[in-house]
Every structure is written in structure tokens, then in C-alpha cells.
Amino acid sequence: MEIYVGIFLSFPVVIFTGLLTLSILYWLFAAIGLFSIDCLDFDFGTDMDFDMYHAEIPSSGLGGVLMKFGFNQVPLTLIITLISLIGFIISYFCHHFFLLPIYEVPWLYYLAGACTFLIVLIIATFLTAYIIRPIRPLFKQLNSTTHNSLLGQSVVIRSSVVNDIKGEAIYEDGGAGLILQVRCYVPNQFKRNDVVILLSYDSITNSYQIVSVDEFNGL
């Protein structure tokens, strides 16, 4: 048993062990309602709003690379989980059969380990892309249905700034709440804690156009 645990915590297996552990904890917390699926959002600046769940990404830079693998429209948490799981399995056997025999030569061991990590990461990414290919249409349909069902709902502004390039709001779904990217064309029209209405959805930027409650009632 100690041998197996030692391999789990050895380089480069430990990297995939850590990622897989975090992925399992994430799905566990999401299942019991402590996390919402949309709680992991990253803002890469004015040209790139990246959503950890829906993975709505531009066609250049990092987004372009992910789109080439077919990772758009698929939950990024699922992608990370699959890459971590596949990488863990492959790196485990690579370490057991190839790296363990040279463990007593540190420089060779870590050099070979670094090369192994890069190769395993590439293989795991390609295998993940192959696995999710047949199920991508299901997520695309689900995402479309989810976005449309939110239109007309009220949300609360959570960011200090809302304009035509950035802004965030919270939709209370009865759980932890959903963090949504929102936009408006009049700068400083809304402030934190204002209640607004989701008017339309833009799939390119993965954001919602918002209006005030009074404007919505007057439409």
C-alpha cells in the first residue's frame, strides 16, 4: 500500500493527483449545493470573458486552442476532470514502469518526469477531446435552453461597474446562486445591489443584456 501512495505523491503523478482531488471535491460540493455550477468565472480583460462551466470562448489565443480541441460549449470543469483522471492513470503506469527504476538518479528522474508530464498532458487532452466529441451537441442544446429560460428574470448587480464590456450579476436560483456576465450600453447606469432584468443573451460573449425593472415593465 505504501508503494501505491508513494507513487500518487511522486512527480509527475502528484500534479494529476492534486487536480483530480480538486475536481472530485468540486463536484461533491456542487452536488450538495455548496457550489453553483457557474461559481467559477474568470475575467481575462475586455476582450475575453471566460466562463468555467459553459466555456464560451473567443477564437483567438487560449480560446482558439480550446476551440480546436472542441472544448467550447462543454463544461470546463468536466474537461479538467477528464484530463486529470486520464493523466493520473497514464502517469501512474509511466512512473511505475519507467521512472521508478531511475529514482536513485535525481537529475535523470526529474528530467524524465518533466518530459513524461508534458507527453501525458498532451495525450490526456487529445483523449478527452475524443471522449467529449459525441456528447458536445447535448451540452449545446442544454446551454441554449438554460440561457433562454433565464430571460425576463431579475438579477442583482454584484460588480462595481457595468458597461458594454464587463459586469456581473447574481441570479438567485434557490441554492448558492448563479454568477452571470451582464452588459449595458449606458455606462454607470447601474450600481452594486441594483435589481435589473435579463433582456437578451449574447452567445458570442456569453453575457446578458440588462435593463432596469421600470424599463422592462414599460416595454
> What string of pLDDT tens digits covers the 219 residues of the chain?
666 677 788 999 999 999 999 999 988 887 776 655 544 444 434 333 444 444 444 444 445 556 677 776 677 888 899 999 999 999 999 998 998 889 889 999 999 999 999 999 999 999 999 998 888 777 765 565 567 778 888 999 998 889 888 899 988 876 667 788 899 988 778 889 999 999 888 877 788 999 998 888 875
Residue 177 in contact with residue 171, Cβ under 8 Å? yes
Length of the chain, in residues:
219
Distant-in-sequence, close-in-space partners of 27: CB < 8 Å, separation ≥ 6: 77, 81
pLDDT at 17: 94
Query: CA 98, CA 117: separation in Å to the nearest integer?
Result: 13
Looking at the fold, whether 135 and 153 belong to one and the same domain comes out as no
Looking at the fold, whether 162 and 198 belong to one and the same domain comes out as yes
Number of domains in the chain: 2
Return the SS3 of 42.
strand
Residue 73 in contact with residue 80, Cβ under 8 Å? no
- Residues 211, 216, 217, CA angle at the centre, nearest 5°? 155
Query: From the CB of residue 71, how many other CB atoms can be counted at a distance below 10 Å?
Result: 22
Looking at the fold, whether 44 and 138 belong to one and the same domain comes out as yes
Looking at the fold, whether 63 and 168 belong to one and the same domain comes out as no
Looking at the fold, whether 18 and 112 belong to one and the same domain comes out as yes
Question: What is the pTM (predicted TM-score) of this model?
Answer: 0.61
Looking at the fold, whether 151 and 186 belong to one and the same domain comes out as yes
User: Where is the domain boundary, 143, 177, 196?
Assistant: 143
Q: Which residues form the domain of 155? A: 147-217
Looking at the fold, whether 135 and 28 belong to one and the same domain comes out as yes
- Residues 38, 209, 78, CA angle at the centre, nearest 5°? 20
